[in-house]
Amino acid sequence: MRIVLVGPPGAGKGTQATRLAEKLSVPHISTGDLFRANISQQTELGKLAKTYIDAGNLVPDEVTIAMAKDRMEQPDAENGFLLDGFPRNVSQAEALDELLVTEGITLDAVLDLEAPEEEVVKRIAGRRICRNDSAHVFHVTYKAPAKEGVCDVCGGELYQRGDDSEETVRKRLEVYHTKTEPIIDYYKAQDLVVTIAATGAVDEVTGRALEALKRGR
């Protein structure tokens, strides 16, 4: 299956993508995670991306599209993928369409995760991530690790993302509404959008997502 996940920051895209990717046997491709890996390895791309990410802005299309394309062309993505955080504006959606046409493939669905703004702000404020593996995600209240600051899965150190400060989150939400939300209409025109509520327990949301994908749009 080839799926695009869309939703505001903190809606649970990363959390659900990890679980859905495993259930659907496709790789989870997160442009945010790819940028953060580049930042921690201090690559040129990482240095460039950091200035935009820290301010809550989008990284320029040129580098983002090239990075996403490169990842989608890896052998593990040959039979499907779950895109998390890409495309993030209409020009990225158009670039993805071009790539799909070139490869002779199509998307199966665009899964739109809906969550109220107060909820996503709470989720982001309490989020803690493992330094060893970005898929090990916790929350100080909703999914607290057994020992504060320590990953339950691998014992790694938990940290708070630099762009998770309240001020940057507000900026990211504004960018989401102005730049990213228009891709929902773009994909509605292709009859690809499946919308689900991203509230409730993590398991419930996964169940809802799998049901919705099975049912189709």
What whole-number distance in Å separates Cα of residue 214 and Cα of residue 177?
28
- State the binding partner of 27 from Zn ion, ligand AP5, none, CB within 5 to 8 A by kind: none
**What does the binding site for ligand AP5 look like in residue numbers (CB under 6 A)?**
7, 9-15, 31-32, 35, 52-53, 56-59, 64, 85-86, 88, 92, 123-124, 126-127, 137-139, 142-143, 163, 172, 201-202, 205
Sign of the CA dihedral 11, 211, 185, 93? positive
Q: Which of 95, 108, 94, 78 is nearest to 5 (CA)?
A: 108
Measured from each CB, the residue nearest to ligand AP5 is 32
- State the binding partner of 153 from Zn ion, ligand AP5, none, CB within 5 to 8 A by kind: Zn ion
Tell me which amino acid residue 132 is. N
Please state the φ and ψ torsions of residue 156, each to the nearest 5 degrees.
-70, 165
- Known catalytic membership, residue 172: yes
Residue 189 CB, shortest distance to ligand AP5, in Å, is 20
User: Count of CB atoms within 10 A of residue 112's CB?
Assistant: 22
Catalytic residue among 2, 143, 161, 188: 161
- State the binding partner of 9 from Zn ion, ligand AP5, none, CB within 5 to 8 A by kind: ligand AP5
